[in-house]
Structure 1
Amino acid sequence: MCGIVGYFGPAGTPQILQRMNDCQEHRGPDGAGTFADGPVALGHRRLSIIDVAHGQQPMSTADGRYVLSYNGEVYNYLELRTELEQLGRSFSTDSDTEVVLHAFAEWGTDAFDRFNGMWGLAIWDAQEQRLTLSRDHFGIKPVYVAQVGETLFFSSEIKSILATGVYDRRPNDRSIYRYLRFRIHEDGRETFFQGIERLEPGEYLSVDASGIQRGFYTRLREELAELATQQRPYDDAAAAEYKQRLTEAVRLRLQSEVPVGTSLSGGLDSSAVAVIINKLLNDGDATTKSVGAQQNTFSAVFPGSDNDEEKYVDAVLDICKGHVDSHKILPTADEFKVDLRDFIRTQEEPLISSGPYAQFQVMREATKHVTVLLDGQGADEMMAGYIPYYFVYLRQLRAQGATAAALELSKSLDVLYRLGRFKLKSKLKGNKSIPGERLLGDDFVTTYAAERYSVEGANLKKRLIEDLFIGSLPSLLRYEDKNTMRFSLEGRVPFLDKEVVKFIFSLSDEAIIKDGWNKRVLRDATRGLLPDLINRRRNKIGFTTPQSEWFMRLKNYFYNIFLSESFASRPYFDQTEVLHAFEGWIKGTNTLDSMTFWRLLNVELWLREFFDEQPDEADAEPRLKTDLEANADKQLDLTTASGASVRRYPLRTELVSRDDDLDARVNEHIDAFFAALEADPEHQAALAGKRWFFFISEKIVAITQGRSYFIWDINVGRSARILSKYVTRTPAGIGLGSPFTMQLAIQEVGLPRVLYASAGGAVGKAIGRRGLFYELVGNDIRAIDGPTEYSAYPSNVSAKLAPKDPDQVASRLSAAIRERAPQAYRDTFGGTVVMDANDIGRNVLGSDVKGDWTRFEEMFADNPLGQSTEQTPMAIVVEL
């Protein structure tokens, strides 16, 4: 397997080609090559599989007319080579690459329909000055194109086009909308990048001086539809023929000069591949040389999870005992969090769920042992592997007669129940239904309100064809290509042998679903090879993750993403509605599922990865400071508005929780500060004889008093949701612009007083008097804080009230400080100040110092503390 890049047109340069080729090194670490001729240039990265010693690319014919850059495998290349030799063609290598090259030289684009395999390729015809691109029948291997001015760029990965430096990267808002609204992607030429398209399955593109021509070299979709009308009777002979054809498809995909293994999920499809290989091993078949004496299998397992399929994996391993070496990978939520950026970068475009991360982990392990991996991709889309196909088939039967539909329904009830049980349970609990579009930005929804997406709902074979080429399989093949190639692996999919697919569609529908059993022909073909535990499985899981369990574990992390300024600034989301919905999902009070939130998260993280400016790694590291230094970008000294000079020493602390003893924590840091001062004569001199104060953030006082609440523990009422919409949100999320903080305000002073203050605030705005709301509402409501993106956990997912009795807290802390401070500094200690300070304003909430507190607020005019990575919620302040 390999990677191809190149261009046709005047904007291309050797430097651009090199950048394009370099950024897909993972697709082909075994070699690289380039070719240029006039307006065209081709690049190639090689992962050597067949004819390892030869087959370097770009490869040209002996006369130099045709030059090929090719990514893929054509499994019937030996048969084609014999035919081409009979036509007078001669070969100098044993590679399938050379067969592909000569086939095009002989037959042109008609050659592609003769191929049985997977590919994305580019061929330059120097005589006609024409570049031709092609993608395999099912789209197993990708080809991306982008027209930039008069130049066409192409590649196996989108990142290569981004690396040109001439493509103006912009998100495709239509694709984003259809993904968020309808859960679809990969359903046509458009990608999530405006101006970058993919070749569709079975499509070719030709470009020369006259322009671009696109078309399909195959009638495979039409052929399948025609075959579906034949309805060849299904019987034991048909099952036996299918078994023989599938076995041959597996044998063809064992052709390799490097080690071959199997991706084993425990489902029917991948298990079938594993046991067929095992039988070939037992039979001493020559093609198993690439497998070795032991078949390497790779499985993701999740002990204790509803998604775990380990017992099914073990059942296959028992069948293969003596000829199998099993590798089990145990992905975790914490690993998912660590890998998330790499995973999203690898996939290049958003995914429907986090499920392919299990495959990502499997491929990371597999690359340590093999270079080629077979799996069961594609079987679901040709043999009705998903539960919704039952409904399609039942509608089809109902149109043919009520009796047949009723009989099939009676045999399928247990399967259909599994689909509806969660919805039924949710309705019985009275959970609210939230339309997905309510989570999206109003203008965004309005712009794309005319978008629609419909699927075939009453003809089984038509629906399967639709999903093979549009609705389902294209995205799964993209996941597989990106995950395998990220770790320099070749993935092979024997179920997508085009002759095998044709055979299935020639059979009657009863070969696909009968008596409540889907994949009937595969079950019949593997009876005796597979244990009944798998052959008679009714529950479909597949390579996926326990997403809901993981999201609940990572809810703090994901909430922080939804809370972020970048998420709030996107035109795609309604942040307030998303936060409300996520809170409800955590509590189990709405019918939304983790898939909805994954799509929102995926778009946000994808935008950050591919469109937002990336911070330098050094900037991302927290700055650790001593107690005698200022925070980053802040100053120790300040001259206040009243002309006084002060020095502020921010004290770095560990994170504070409600279980902490505030007095003990303060005493610990007072002792540490004076110990540091003792070793620093310069700062000793600055403090000697000067009046000094202890400042403490109201946030940590409230936390230790138990007045901080996780947002999902706050029962937000309708009044809070309505009122919060009329409050201006600050960039940092401070104040009552959140339903959570407004609910706390209502609980603290009562709804009547909040309504009274709101009315007064509205009058105040009209007459130009600001802050009247907070004057009228009282009770330090202005100090209520919502979750803020940059705060340290748990403040990033919490809302809090003002501290209780801040004057008394200040007095108590001052008494302890006077006892602990060194004798030389006791008499000059002025007292404690409980401060609510941020970048927007300062407010002293309490102090044991008599007199006007305005001067203390002036001392924090530049907000010198920090409670995110700085973790400095306390300070010693000296009047110089």
Structure 2
Amino acid sequence: MCGIAGFIPLGAPRERQWLAALGRTMTEAMAHRGESAAAPWVAPSGAAMLACVRLAVQDRSGAGDQPMADPDGRFVLVNNGEVYASRAPLAPPWPRRTHCDTEFVLQQVSRATADQEASVLSGLDGMFALAWHDTRTRRTVLARDHFGVKPLHYCYTDDGLLFASEVQALLATGLIRPEVDPAEFVLRSWVRMDAADEHTWLSGIRVLQPAEYLVVDAPRVRLRRYWQPDPSDEVVGAEEIRAAFDRAVALRSVADVPRAAVLSGGVDSSAVFSALHGSGVEVAPYVAHYEDGIGGSGSDVDHARLVSTTHGVRLTVCELSRRDAVMLIPEVAHRLMRPLLHGAELAMYQLYRRISAEGRVVVYSGHGADEMWGYQDGGYFPVVDPAAATHVHGRHYLTHHLYRDERPLWGELIEWLARELGVDMEDIRQRVWDRVLREYRGLDTIDPLKRGRHHLMRRFLVYVNDMVDLTSSTYTLEDRPVFQDVALAELAFRCPEHLKSPSAPGSHKELLKSALGILLPPAVVRRRKQGFPSPTDPVYEQALRKLAAEQGLPFGLTGLPAHLHDALGSGELMFLASSSAWLERLRTPEPTPL
């Protein structure tokens, strides 16, 4: 995990001194993402600047520093994430000088002609956000991995394209202002965990979507997509899944730093930890738990301890106290550059802090398995539940009922905000169809469940990935989600949906369990799926009410109806308090532009 940044003039080249200063400003804003930052690279022509903060996970010598150039100095690359291999590697154009992944990626992209860029990117196994520049053609390419594990934000300035791993690095330049459009705020709050399209919470700042790459031949800029799963229907067996899982684990098992695993006691994280430990990888398990009885995370600890005890490894329980679960809200909202939409953000923030404090650097996790192989009970996941009524796939249900049925009180709160901000909810619902549900319609299949699965992978999972990246990178960690593997994903989209959970309604990931069950204690296999809950303790809600009252309503609004105010739960209160704290933080004085 690193942090990358850069600037591409779209008009006349910029002064090299100015570009170098810009790069230093951006890497300083992302210093937490790595251990060191080499000097920014500036093209001799002034046609590009690339910069990087490096977290050295493989080959910790200076030979792996970035930006990295090929032996001839023609191609220069910055790379955030980890690329483990290629499924279709090109012959290396020079002998390897390091054993870090950055040089491997540089070898691959330097061999690719313009019409091979998509195939080279598609073949990479790993999580990445890349930028490389060809000094001969002056072409720059930005790319994001297949699942959006690693983010890459960009925006246009008066005379160029600015990009970085974090929004904070863009704002630190002073070249853009942090502005929030009320309609965009309402839309993203309405769809909550589906708010992960090409837009962001700030006007004018965009983000590459999974499997997208941006080609810059100044002044021309083109956005392209290099990969999409094939939704064919073929029988997929447990043995095939297990083989792909074992390969995914093996690819991700290489690191030259201490390692940890997030262990929730569910099938996914337990299988990852068990496979790693069984292959001889020393990995320390951690589980998040609400302290003081403020939440329902107790069974996570019980099942996680069962798994760790089976392997004879000590489990570390990371407690989130009632006090911290309140006091951290403004801090986490600023780190995420958005309001809090789920209690898991606080738990993950605290969990990563503990893991980092104990000297771990690489963290293994299981997120991504649900979106590919299962579903959850509730109002949102029927789009991939074979037992759900067919009308949930109709346009009117998806735009008018899906999100409101999931959280009725939340829906009422957002509709009130929309009215007070002068935002038309019918316009919001149209945007839900045009933008949020674009990926639901974007898969070439008539199978509505596979379309729903594609939507989850391209929206909900990206939200999770963004949250994990920002909370883990705060503490200079690299999170490796094993199930976000191209071979596993292609199996999941090839598999008929009814085979994934063929038992009675309420069954969950039965096919995946049959493939990985041998790795797990029977109690974990039988455990019913549950998400990480938001705290519900009445004393905690009182503390949240106090914080929300201190912060005031977002956008300086007043007059929240009494019946709505009294009905708000911890999730809604957390959202209001974090929204106001974040918006107020955005109003702080801007840095002086370079």
Same fold (TM over 0.5): yes
| Inter-partner Cα distance in structure 2 for 1:318 and 1:422 | 37
Matched letter for residue 453 of structure 2: L
Compared with structure 1, are the counterparts of its residues 274 and 600 closer, same or farther at alpha carbon in structure 2 (3 Å cutoff)? same
| Inter-partner Cα distance in structure 2 for 1:481 and 1:433 | 26
User: In the alignment, which residue of structure 1 is the partner of 2:31?
Assistant: 25
| Inter-partner Cα distance in structure 2 for 1:611 and 1:422 | 30
CA contact (8 A) 2:501 2:508 kept: yes
Compared with structure 1, are the counterparts of its residues 377 and 399 closer, same or farther at alpha carbon in structure 2 (3 Å cutoff)? closer
Spell out the pairing of 1:386-397 with structure 2 (5 A cutoff): 386-388=376-378, 391-392=382-383
**What is the CA-CA distance between 1:536 and the residue it aligns to?**
0.9
Q: 1:65 aligns with which of 74, 86, 91?
A: 74
Q: 1:506 aligns with which of 487, 494, 504?
A: 494
Compared with structure 1, are the counterparts of its residues 184 and 330 closer, same or farther at alpha carbon in structure 2 (3 Å cutoff)? closer
Spell out the pairing of 1:117-136 with structure 2 (5 A cutoff): 117-136=126-145
CA contact (8 A) 1:224 1:465 kept: no
Q: 1:561 aligns with which of 544, 550, 558?
A: 550
Q: 2:427 aligns with which of 450, 453, 477?
A: 450
The reply to whether residue 581 of structure 1 matches residue 571 of structure 2 is: no
The reply to whether residue 95 of structure 1 matches residue 104 of structure 2 is: no
| Inter-partner Cα distance in structure 2 for 1:260 and 1:385 | 29
The reply to whether residue 439 of structure 1 matches residue 416 of structure 2 is: yes
Matched letter for residue 313 of structure 1: A
| Inter-partner Cα distance in structure 2 for 1:607 and 1:487 | 24
The gaps in structure 2 that reach 5 residues or longer are: 392-404, 442-446
The number of residues matched between the two structures is: 546
User: In the alignment, which residue of structure 2 is the partner of 1:335?
Assistant: 324
**What is the CA-CA distance between 1:554 and the residue it aligns to?**
1.0
CA contact (8 A) 1:59 1:67 kept: yes
Matched letter for residue 503 of structure 1: L
Matched letter for residue 352 of structure 1: L
Q: 2:203 aligns with which of 175, 194, 202?
A: 194
| Inter-partner Cα distance in structure 2 for 1:31 and 1:612 | 27
CA contact (8 A) 1:203 1:214 kept: yes
User: In the alignment, which residue of structure 1 is the partner of 2:238?
Assistant: 239
Question: Percent identity among equivalent residues?
Answer: 25
Q: Could you say what secondary structure the match of 1:577 adopts?
A: coil
User: In the alignment, which residue of structure 2 is the partner of 1:851?
Assistant: none
**What is the CA-CA distance between 1:502 and the residue it aligns to?**
0.7
The reply to whether residue 532 of structure 1 matches residue 522 of structure 2 is: yes
| Inter-partner Cα distance in structure 1 for 2:64 and 2:179 | 37
Compared with structure 1, are the counterparts of its residues 395 and 271 closer, same or farther at alpha carbon in structure 2 (3 Å cutoff)? closer
The reply to whether residue 602 of structure 1 matches residue 578 of structure 2 is: yes
User: In the alignment, which residue of structure 2 is the partner of 1:249?
Assistant: 248
Compared with structure 1, are the counterparts of its residues 436 and 132 closer, same or farther at alpha carbon in structure 2 (3 Å cutoff)? same
CA contact (8 A) 1:122 1:133 kept: yes
**What is the CA-CA distance between 1:185 and the residue it aligns to?**
5.0
| Inter-partner Cα distance in structure 2 for 1:211 and 1:390 | 40
Q: 1:463 aligns with which of 446, 449, 452?
A: 452
User: In the alignment, which residue of structure 1 is the partner of 2:3?
Assistant: 3
| Inter-partner Cα distance in structure 1 for 2:414 and 2:341 | 17
Matched letter for residue 498 of structure 2: E
CA contact (8 A) 2:541 2:570 kept: no
| Inter-partner Cα distance in structure 2 for 1:433 and 1:357 | 19
The reply to whether residue 365 of structure 1 matches residue 354 of structure 2 is: yes
The reply to whether residue 48 of structure 1 matches residue 56 of structure 2 is: yes
Matched letter for residue 137 of structure 2: E
| Inter-partner Cα distance in structure 1 for 2:333 and 2:407 | 29
Matched letter for residue 49 of structure 1: V
User: In the alignment, which residue of structure 1 is the partner of 2:513?
Assistant: 523
| Inter-partner Cα distance in structure 2 for 1:394 and 1:434 | 23
Q: Could you say what secondary structure the match of 2:519 adopts?
A: coil
Spell out the pairing of 1:352-431 with structure 2 (5 A cutoff): 352-367=341-356, 368-388=358-378, 391-392=382-383
**What is the CA-CA distance between 1:340 and the residue it aligns to?**
2.4
The reply to whether residue 216 of structure 1 matches residue 199 of structure 2 is: no
CA contact (8 A) 1:254 1:260 kept: no
User: In the alignment, which residue of structure 1 is the partner of 2:268?
Assistant: 269
User: In the alignment, which residue of structure 1 is the partner of 2:121?
Assistant: 112
| Inter-partner Cα distance in structure 2 for 1:486 and 1:239 | 38
Q: Could you say what secondary structure the match of 1:526 adopts?
A: helix
Q: Could you say what secondary structure the match of 1:62 adopts?
A: coil
CA contact (8 A) 1:8 1:39 kept: yes
CA contact (8 A) 2:554 2:580 kept: no
| Inter-partner Cα distance in structure 2 for 1:318 and 1:518 | 25
Q: Could you say what secondary structure the match of 2:50 adopts?
A: strand
| Inter-partner Cα distance in structure 2 for 1:359 and 1:152 | 32
| Inter-partner Cα distance in structure 1 for 2:136 and 2:342 | 47
Matched letter for residue 370 of structure 1: R
**What is the CA-CA distance between 1:145 and the residue it aligns to?**
0.4
| Inter-partner Cα distance in structure 2 for 1:434 and 1:31 | 44
| Inter-partner Cα distance in structure 2 for 1:135 and 1:251 | 22
User: In the alignment, which residue of structure 2 is the partner of 1:34?
Assistant: 40
CA contact (8 A) 2:188 2:201 kept: no
User: In the alignment, which residue of structure 2 is the partner of 1:179?
Assistant: 188
**What is the CA-CA distance between 1:434 and the residue it aligns to?**
8.0
TM score, norm. by length of structure 2? 0.85
Q: Could you say what secondary structure the match of 1:187 adopts?
A: coil
Q: Deviations over 1:484-527 (max 9, x none)?
A: 11000000011011101111222222332221321112211222
Q: 1:494 aligns with which of 461, 473, 482?
A: 482
CA contact (8 A) 2:129 2:152 kept: yes
| Inter-partner Cα distance in structure 2 for 1:24 and 1:442 | 38
Matched letter for residue 517 of structure 2: R
CA contact (8 A) 1:484 1:490 kept: yes
| Inter-partner Cα distance in structure 2 for 1:104 and 1:265 | 38
**What is the CA-CA distance between 1:421 and the residue it aligns to?**
13
CA contact (8 A) 1:3 1:44 kept: yes
Q: Could you say what secondary structure the match of 1:373 adopts?
A: strand
Q: Could you say what secondary structure the match of 2:518 adopts?
A: coil
Give the number of the structure with larger relative contact order, counting CA–CA contacts within 8 Å between residues 6 or more apart.
Answer: 2
| Inter-partner Cα distance in structure 2 for 1:231 and 1:549 | 50
Q: Could you say what secondary structure the match of 1:450 adopts?
A: helix
The reply to whether residue 611 of structure 1 matches residue 587 of structure 2 is: yes
User: In the alignment, which residue of structure 2 is the partner of 1:705?
Assistant: none
**What is the CA-CA distance between 1:91 and the residue it aligns to?**
2.1
Over the residues paired in the alignment, what is the CA RMSD in angstroms?
2.8
**What is the CA-CA distance between 1:384 and the residue it aligns to?**
2.2
The reply to whether residue 479 of structure 1 matches residue 455 of structure 2 is: no
TM score, norm. by length of structure 1? 0.59
Compared with structure 1, are the counterparts of its residues 550 and 159 closer, same or farther at alpha carbon in structure 2 (3 Å cutoff)? farther
**What is the CA-CA distance between 1:194 and the residue it aligns to?**
0.8
CA contact (8 A) 1:307 1:545 kept: no
| Inter-partner Cα distance in structure 1 for 2:352 and 2:183 | 32
CA contact (8 A) 1:175 1:185 kept: no
| Inter-partner Cα distance in structure 2 for 1:117 and 1:278 | 21
Compared with structure 1, are the counterparts of its residues 421 and 217 closer, same or farther at alpha carbon in structure 2 (3 Å cutoff)? closer
Matched letter for residue 217 of structure 2: D
| Inter-partner Cα distance in structure 2 for 1:36 and 1:496 | 34
User: In the alignment, which residue of structure 1 is the partner of 2:303?
Assistant: 312
| Inter-partner Cα distance in structure 2 for 1:490 and 1:380 | 21
| Inter-partner Cα distance in structure 1 for 2:171 and 2:275 | 42
Q: Could you say what secondary structure the match of 1:193 adopts?
A: coil
**What is the CA-CA distance between 1:463 and the residue it aligns to?**
0.5
| Inter-partner Cα distance in structure 2 for 1:25 and 1:271 | 32
CA contact (8 A) 2:68 2:103 kept: yes
Q: Deviations over 1:105-144 (max 9, x none)?
A: 1124231111011111110111111211110011100100
